[in-house]
Amino acid sequence: MIHYLHQKGYKDIYLYSGMSPSGMHWRYSIGKIKNGYWSPADSIVAGSTGVSGSVEWSEDHSSVEVLSENFISHYKLGTEDQREDETPYSIWYSQLLKMLDKDEMLIFYADYSAHINIY
């Protein structure tokens, strides 16, 4: 959805997402980049989903377009929030998505210690 929002001109929208300690909940913050920085203080929405989690604007997630349009409508994003030029974040985000498999999610952090074997 964030990539689609970038394509629609909302290039200052960021996603910061991670996993809860149980690994059952996806935590997220979606906000606007201001002065080149993204912080929780500039968050549009933040929350956590899980087995019973529900997010108002995402009830109809039949397509990324519908999901994005519901987000735009729910949070009243307008033309003043759009821009023509790419931002460093929108470029980085686009490149990052190209490295993921179709079924992979972006996880920037985990609220637990993870042991990673690097070969």
Residue 24 domain flag: yes
Residue 118 domain flag: no
What's the order of all strands across the beta sheet hosting 109-110? 43-49, 26-32, 13-19, 109-110
Could you report the per-residue pLDDT of 81-105, keeping only the tens digit for each?
999 999 999 999 999 999 988 888 7
Residue 115 domain flag: no
Percent of the chain with pLDDT over 90: 45
In which domain, by residue range, is 83 found? 2-110
**Secondary structure of residue 99 in the 3-state scheme:** helix
Domain count for the chain, please give it.
1
Beta-strand runs (E) in 1-119: 13-19, 26-32, 43-49, 109-110
Beta strand 13-19 pairing with 109-110:
parallel
Residue 116 domain flag: no
Residue 62 domain flag: yes
